[in-house]
Structure 1
């Protein structure tokens, strides 16, 4: 069992002092887990330069059966870049996101990269199931996509679980051979929360959205066009995260829609809605979407542009189906089409066919995000933001649901 402790890392004493300051800065009246709301609207669980990490990126958040919020991120030792010494870290909140416990390390591969956290709470056991991906810290995404690395250096997939509300996690268990095809190069889980199906013939299934890149065909002249070979897929487990297999695989590499980072939500009718970043495809928009009627095994149609989200730039986004009769589907992401700026939330009353903007959280720089439903009529948004750049902090914002519905 992995013992979660920041104290084993370098700069621990300084990190604890900084964390104490951060906790004081976000202090609020105590409350039962996600019960009557403390007097807060926002908090900052991750701040660049604190806790022994130069930067924090790639947020993901889940709410456990007990109402504990577990916020995950990548702790990047050398800076905000995607390569190098990167760990998966977390902080826990028992008051609905107003205050946060100490920083803890979930996965640390030395000087290598572990990231793309995709957590989900298993509805049958209550365990947190966490998928992450690995690569050597000495290689880049571009090198992996060009096929210039060994399988050991390339992207590999791991799963961990927590039985105690995120206090500790099991050791990592590799599942690469079950969910990554031999000709795939890049691979990324999520990022952002995964989905547990609650209705229909696949009730209890855990579904993780992911993306990959394929090798260009032999003799292809597509040198320098690696993004054209991005694709989306899903992986799922029907036994509480013990075994995994591939679901749908998008293999359309025409360069029109380049499916990349993807999030999913279970709609009230049992279908899955998938929302994807279009990685500079030639289609006129930056968001793509599709549906699955069989729990992620196949797609109802190919990915197509979602034109009512054209304000969103090329970036990851999050989707969340709210609970309750007539509740909408939500999407979060920056709202300036040419920049990572102005985090916003959109809502859809027609299962993702169209979206309208419901709230703009700030005009500051902003990038990746993840949505979570809270009790007491609130929604949480965990998102990257800052004044000079979007990666200065990861903030948690609590939004009253009426503000999103009206």
Structure 2
């Protein structure tokens, strides 16, 4: 069912024009939103680019009245359509957009877009204390994001909350509390025995808050039947693993790249699965990928001699969110010989400058990156020739 009511255009329609290959997609303070954060981007079946983020209405905080908004580009990121609200639920927090295109469902031969997201009714720290609830939802679009279905609640399939005064069906003994999708794009396996599998990286906290955020652990969930049902993966063994993103490797293998919320090791956590993300063969810190306790993006952009070519972006600093860097690996993440500084603070300010980002494949040797800039004042898009 398509709900045209979700196709809400901002009253001050405008189109951002690129300048020096950089276009401002979302600018804080515009269109009735205090702040825009948490970018995600995909290429739709019609080749348009769909840029998602959280539209935070009243303040810049992670909790409050928050909607998921989207803008579309038909010219590879040079210009962008007016803002469209795609997910909202009253005064609840609606966030962590994780879009992906299902390209293998015979019922939708032109492709169907899934957008996974979370809702929350309290601050994250209060949810960790058991005083609130995070839920997991998705919506779909069969017309390249113009219209969206009614939301589907999949919390009982992919989350394990102990109890809730809003829904008595949540009685899981695991006592998961905080919960977040990736943020950034989700993935679909393109080849091999797991072809068609939709995989969404995620994380949760379990039980009462622990020192150094050790109640957090990364995990994932997936569907092998085009969203009819979902299954949880096993969780990582590294305590404090948090925001994650995944990509397909070769031979049904999957890599998940996670934030270390503890901050004791300022590097990304890498986990490898040989069964399509159901279980984890190994997890380790990759010191080639320095990180200031932040989000990152990971994307398969091609194949060479049967091996996945990977692109990775993050704020490549151990002290603050700055120095957004693109890296390329030709050996499925063992080494990252190519690196390019995308953006950095023009001065020696100690504040965050570049933070969250998400990558999208445009065409051979061309990648798009949607990222937070100028201390969360704007979300911009940049097209990069990497070779």
Length-normalised TM-score, structure 2: 0.88
Which residue of structure 2 aligns with residue 352 of structure 1?
333
Distance, in Å, in 2 between the alignment partners of 1:356 and 1:277 is: 22
Which residue of structure 1 aligns with residue 143 of structure 2?
164
Look up the SS of the partner of 2:214 in the other structure.
helix
1:75-111 C-alpha deviation (Å, 9 max, x unpaired): 0001211010000110011111111111000111111
Q: Alignment partner for residue 375 of structure 1, among 342, 363, 366?
A: 363
Which residue of structure 2 aligns with residue 5 of structure 1?
7
- Report the CA distance between 1:251 and its aligned residue: 4.9
Query: Contact 1:2–1:106 at 8 Å: present in 2 too?
Result: no
Distance, in Å, in 2 between the alignment partners of 1:270 and 1:78 is: 44
Q: Alignment partner for residue 238 of structure 1, among 224, 234, 238?
A: 224
Look up the SS of the partner of 1:201 in the other structure.
helix
2:25 is the alignment partner of 1:45: yes
Which residue of structure 2 aligns with residue 132 of structure 1?
117
Which residue of structure 1 aligns with residue 349 of structure 2?
none
- Report the CA distance between 1:376 and its aligned residue: 5.5
- Report the CA distance between 1:281 and its aligned residue: 4.7
Q: Equivalences for 1:319-398 in 2 at 5 Å?
A: 319-325=298-304, 328-356=309-337, 358-364=339-345, 365-375=353-363, 377-386=365-374, 389=375, 391-398=376-383
Q: Alignment partner for residue 113 of structure 1, among 81, 93, 109?
A: 93
From the two aligned structures, give the one with the greater strand fraction.
2
Q: Which runs of 5+ in 2 are unaligned?
A: 161-171, 346-352
Q: Alignment partner for residue 182 of structure 2, among 180, 183, 190?
A: 190
Look up the SS of the partner of 1:178 in the other structure.
helix
Query: Contact 1:285–1:306 at 8 Å: present in 2 too?
Result: no
Which residue of structure 2 aligns with residue 26 of structure 1?
17
Q: Runs of 4+ in structure 1 displaced over 4 angstroms?
A: none
From the two aligned structures, give the one with the greater helix fraction.
1
Query: Contact 1:344–1:359 at 8 Å: present in 2 too?
Result: yes
Distance, in Å, in 1 between the alignment partners of 2:210 and 2:274 is: 36
Greater shift, 71-80 or 341-350, is seen at 341-350
2:191 is the alignment partner of 1:210: no
Which residue of structure 1 aligns with residue 242 of structure 2?
260
- Give me the CA root mean square deviation: 1.7
Look up the SS of the partner of 2:194 in the other structure.
coil
Q: Alignment partner for residue 255 of structure 2, among 263, 273, 277?
A: 273
Distance, in Å, in 1 between the alignment partners of 2:7 and 2:226 is: 26
Query: Contact 1:117–1:192 at 8 Å: present in 2 too?
Result: yes
Look up the SS of the partner of 2:213 in the other structure.
helix
Distance, in Å, in 2 between the alignment partners of 1:345 and 1:49 is: 29
Which residue of structure 1 aligns with residue 167 of structure 2?
none
Which residue of structure 1 aligns with residue 64 of structure 2?
84
Which residue of structure 2 aligns with residue 94 of structure 1?
74
Count of paired positions: 358
Distance, in Å, in 1 between the alignment partners of 2:228 and 2:200 is: 14
2:134 is the alignment partner of 1:155: yes
- Report the CA distance between 1:286 and its aligned residue: 2.9
- Pick closer, same or farther for the CA change 1:166–1:278 going to 2, 3 Å: same
Which residue of structure 1 aligns with residue 386 of structure 2?
401
1:152-190 C-alpha deviation (Å, 9 max, x unpaired): xx1000011000001111011100001112310011011
Distance, in Å, in 2 between the alignment partners of 1:376 and 1:252 is: 36
1:48-89 C-alpha deviation (Å, 9 max, x unpaired): 011111110000011122211111100000121101000011
Distance, in Å, in 2 between the alignment partners of 1:305 and 1:367 is: 20
1:227-253 C-alpha deviation (Å, 9 max, x unpaired): 111001110011112211112222554
Distance, in Å, in 2 between the alignment partners of 1:357 and 1:50 is: 37
